[in-house]
Structure 1
Amino acid sequence: MIRFGPLAIAAAMSLAACSSCEQKAPPPPAEKAASAHADASLHDGGDGAAKTASLTDAPWNILLITVDSLRADMPWAGYERPIAPRLSALHAKSTRYTRAYSTSSYTSKSLAGLLTGRYPSELSRTGVFFTRYLTKTDFVCTAFGSAGVPCVGGHAHAYFGPKQSGFEHGFSDWRIVKGITFDYQTDPYVTSDKLTPLAIEMLGEVASKQGTQGPKPFLAWFHYMDPHDEYKTHAESPHFGKRARDLYDEEVFFTDQWIGKLLDFVDAQPWAARTIVVVTADHGEAFGEHGMTRHAHEVWEELVHVPLFFYVPGRAARTIDEPRGHVDLAPTFAALLGVSVELPGASLVAELDGAPAPARDVVVDLPEDEYNERRRALVHGTTKIIAFGNDVRYSLFDLAADPQEKQDLWRSRPELAADMKARYKAASARIRDVAPAGGIPKHDR
């Protein structure tokens, strides 16, 4: 039962939209950093050369905002509750991908793919659930830093702490919200209200440093945790009920408000005109679909279909319906930052620049570890094949007719099954499987 009516929800949305009134931003970076771009805005779409020049004519700053467990069915995709007004407003001005896929179905594996441009099975890593990645040069920020482009990151879970995940490889400034400890079962903290001030502080510092000798690009990444279970209620959010999805929606609304404050800060900076904002999720979240709750273990749509959109100052909004995967983000970032890096994924810059978006298959990769059996999936157009274990059995779905993957076509469509299996086998063979260091601990799964 919704405890706040439509007027209360509208009032809450209005409060979120002007939430920056209370935020005290640190002093802006040196005027020299980006004075030529000072008239652009996250809200007015920007102005000037970016409208006509190619995106690769000059390097851009990148602000990457990831939200843990953020499902694809947000308000901009038709969800009836207005739980993300600030992100919805940004989405409306962005190049948005309606069929984006995370690399895997939980944080340890999915973010590794995003940060390296490779599948987690290909990376030097441990075999535990909270995986640590061992090779610094696998991570694109190592190459960015060597090219003089700093990466900074702020996070709100102890798994991101030093010597835990390895995600910090290549980052020149890496910070964790204070006062949190590692919980192996859930996320018991409220942190969006702490992460945004940290992000503002870090952005101010890196922009100032990069602007001391003329504008130079940077990449900043902030990962918001609050939609991850356990789901909490917030005084600032509309209250939708007591079910898990109701509380999750409150968490999304709360997080959205604090992301809005971060966007307001960026909007006020002279470097906003050269800053691309990228929003996505590490994975989705299940609320009873396929008998599951939370995430990991499988690669169903509710777990791996995620939001993805790019706000590019001066560019018109655009919708792209072709499937795309997170392994494409690292080469995209490299091209936008003006850094040459050889990666297996495909840069999205041409289609962000307005070119047609070519059809391309997407692979999802969940390697085996102590609590996960291996899963892989391939999406070709609107058809999806899932391989269970070491390809011991398969399922096949028509996502256009059956987006919730309820009708397995593996036996009823043998010709389609054979074609999709061949596609999957060819794509899977291109993934160079690396055995986890120290082996895989054995537990009941």
Structure 2
Amino acid sequence: MPDRRRNSPAPLALALYGLLAGSALGVLEVHWWMRGASDPSVLRRAARFAWQEAALLGALGFLLFAVAGLVSVLGARWKWRSARDGSLPVALGTLFTELLALAALVGLGHRLARHSVTIRGFLLLLIALAAVLAGWCVARRTAHLPGGPIARALRSRRFALGSLVLFLAILVVRGTAAMPHREGPLAPQGPPGPAGPNVALIVIDTLRADALGCMGGEAATPNLDALAARGTLFEEALAPSSWTLPATGSLFTSTQPWRHGLEDFGRRLDPDLPTLPERLSGSGWRTRAVVANPFVNERAGFARGFELFDVYDHEFERRFLAARLFGAALEVAGLFRDPSRALLPRLASGYPFLASRLSFYVLDEDVNARVARYAPPPTPNDAPIQDFLYAHYVAPHTPYLEHPLRFLKKGLPLEERNVEALRVRYLGEVEETDRAVGELLEMLSEDTIVIVTADHGEEFLEHGRFEHGHGLHREVLHVPLIIAGPGLASGKRVETPVSLVDVAPTILELCGIDLPESFEGISLADRLDPDAGADALPSRLLFSETASQSLTPGRRFFAVEDGSHKLIRERTAAGAAIEESLFEIASDRAEHTPVAGDPPAALAAALDAYEARAATRRATQGEAVSDEELERMNALGYVDEGKR
């Protein structure tokens, strides 16, 4: 009779080997994916990725191997046929069953989630039975494994523990040291710049202007209200687009979306256009960004000019095995479906790669913690630091969650029956961001010029839709704009319409930096002078557009307003006319009732020219342009009739 004990692993030793195998796999996986990474924010968190992936996969390995060890003990005790020469075959069969089930979960989880609960349960049962059958076959085929060094090692707790300790020591000494960068404070680079103010640009994603208390809104926003009271509030600030990428691109470049080119996902800011952080960095300002919206990333061109650019890049992090396993489990459980992309917000913000689709929701207090972590260090001899901070909060963005947050929290479906409840939750998110902004303001030095604005607003069925990016009405374009700082006007309100393209010129003039010729906006610095009049900005045309074929497939929207009228045009993706609406702003601020008749000739001509310039750029980039647009471009002199 063979010695059954020679071929029987100890459950604890097996579990320790699982911890070792999982941790090693986690480190190797992160090293593999980091090979082609270039995003500074990703590289900076490489060591953290390695530790977290090692811990998560190590814990998973410990659990899987421990279960295999316990099943093998039961098999030996109950005298299973596969365990007649020892329990190692049962352990191997159980491990194979577990790994096969996990592979099926990752590979088929998204497809399983499409089915009803009943069908999903039936399919899961079939997968489980198939995995058990496969594991049984493995156990039977390995039932006569001879004893040897491997079997002896699997019985030795001491050897397993020693191997684990050795691996962890190697990981500490060499593992994370091989990573490209680490998280940490902003390292000093070069001498301090010329005398100038510190600047903090705070962007609150998806914040309607009419939500703030200082704008007559229902949300309790004492910190933003107080900032407006000690600064200048621009009551009619408009975004040049109704969603994040083009609007933020315009904020950085002071150009319209068609010109900077970031009109859709997968595109980048025009590299030939100078950006606000590039101008500040080139003039001696220390530049850092902490961003909660994962789409505002290095791939889109937003990191240009920043010494430190920190954003959770969920597109990179979703590759990790821990994220894929966790996301698949949530999908199969029915907890990972629209309308909520943030069922576990605290877990997602602390370990965003666990569930990549959840990482869109980053808690505002985590933004503040990262700002504090990356604070500029003291300079030699206490020399002044000219610091530019760009902080981008995202709490008001969907999903709208109730506060205080619980560990497991679902958003409400975006349906008409829930519109009032959704609005209440949205206002609660605005209040949460106001608290975070108040904390951030306390962290800033007293000589900091603070600019608070939003990339766009939000819609609650005012024009038949939820969220944003689907049109150009007031609720998605009207954003707050507050500018306050030492030596600037306080308690001032400006009624003349302004645009987000005016923010970058204003900041550069306040810092004493020349404006690039490419900037299209105007500086508002004169309006911030305490001795300036109440409202003397020039009257001008303000344009907006949204052309994302991801958000509005087959359609493009263009709009222009002059202070009294607003003209909105909807076109096909190729430029053919669909609908045109004219509104009288003074009598119909909410833009509910279109005006009959033709629009003012000057307004229509201005929008014609704007659309023609946008179409010209699309044509030069090889995009489809309709015959109608070609006629309009030719009439305005943008194309040569002979080259059509």
Q: TM-score if structure 2 supplies the norm length?
A: 0.53
Confirm whether residue 417 of structure 1 aligns to residue 600 of structure 2. Answer: yes
- Please list, as runs of the form range in 1=range in 2, the aligned pairs for 1:240-279 lying within 5 A after superposition: 243-266=421-444, 269=445, 272-273=446-447, 275-279=448-452
TM-superposed deviation, 1:395: 1.1
Q: Identify the residue that residue 397 of structure 1 maps to in structure 2.
A: 583
Instruction: Specify the code of the residue in structure 2 equivalent to 1:247.
Output: R
Q: Structure 1 regions of 5+ residues with no counterpart?
A: 1-25, 35-56
- Residue 365 of structure 1 deviates from its aligned partner by 2.4
Alignment of 1:186-201 (within 5 A): 189-201=361-373
| Cα distance, 1:82–1:285 mapped onto 2, change above 3 Å | closer
Paired residues for 1:102-113 under 5 Å: 102-113=239-250
Residues 61 and 250 (structure 1 numbering): CA distance in 2 closer, same or farther, change over 3 Å? Answer: same
Equivalent pair of 1:108/1:130 in contact (CA under 8 Å)? no
Distance in 1, matches of 2:616 and 2:580, equals 20
C-alpha deviation, 1:82, in angstroms: 3.9
1:76-155 matched pairs, under 5 angstroms:
76-79=214-217, 81-125=218-262, 128-129=264-265, 131-133=267-269, 135=271, 137-155=273-291
Q: Which residue of 1 aligns with 2:525?
A: 349
Q: Aligned partners of 2:195 and 2:405: how far apart in 1?
A: 41
Query: Superposition pairs for residues 147-166 of structure 1, below 5 Å?
Result: 147-163=283-299, 165-166=300-301
CA distance in 2: counterparts of 1:358 and 1:135, whole angstroms: 31
Residue 618 of structure 2 aligns to a residue whose secondary structure is coil
Deviations 1:56-102 (A, max 9, x none): x97322101110100011211112x3421211111122211111001
Contact 2:544 2:559 in 1 (8 A): yes
Alignment match of 1:297 (pick from 455, 461, 470): 470
2:306 maps to which of 171, 181, 189? 171
- In 1, Cα distance between equivalents of 2:307 and 2:619: 27
Label 1:198 to 1:247 Cα distance change in 2 as closer, same or farther (>3 A): same
Cα drift, residue 118 of structure 1: 0.7
Distance in 2 separating the partners of 1:391 and 1:72: 33
Which of these two proteins has the greater Rg computed from alpha carbons? 2
Q: Which has the higher helix share?
A: 2
Task: Say whether residues 1:327 and 2:501 are aligned partners.
Answer: yes
Give the CA deviation at 1:327: 0.9
Whether 2:540 is the aligned partner of 1:360: answer yes
CA distance in 2, matches of 1:77, 1:69: 16
Letter in 2 for 1:321: E
What is the rounded CA distance, in whole Å, between the counterparts of 2:356 and 2:601 in structure 1? 41
- Hey, what does 2:569 align to over in structure 1? 387
Q: Is 1:434 aligned to residue 607 of structure 2?
A: no
* Total equivalences in the alignment: 372
Q: CA 1:128–1:421 in structure 2 vs 1: closer, same or farther (change >3 Å)?
A: closer
Q: Deviations over 1:196-239 (max 9, x none)?
A: 1212333x316x35x867435332110001110011111289xx
Q: Which has the higher contact order (CA 8 A, sep 6+)?
A: 1
Measure, in 2, the Cα distance between the counterparts of 1:96 and 1:391. Answer: 39
Taking the aligned partners of 1:440 and 1:361, their CA distance within structure 2 comes to 27
Describe the shift of the 1:395–1:114 C-alpha distance in structure 2 as closer, same or farther (beyond 3 A): same
CA drift at 1:142: 1.9
Equivalent residue letter for 1:263: L
CA drift of 1:130 comes to 5.4
Distance in 2 of aligned mates of 1:183 and 1:137? 35
Identity %: 28
The answer to whether the Cα contact below 8 Å between 1:109 and 1:131 also exists between their aligned partners in 2 is no
Q: CA RMSD in A?
A: 3.2
1:205 corresponds to: 376
Q: Does the aligned pair in 2 maintain the 1:156–1:225 contact within 8 Å? A: yes
Residues 1:381 and 1:124: Cα distance change in structure 2 (over 3 Å): closer
Contact 1:280 1:307 in 2 (8 A): yes
Q: Which amino acid aligns with 1:265?
A: M
Task: State the AA in 2 paired with 1:362.
Answer: L
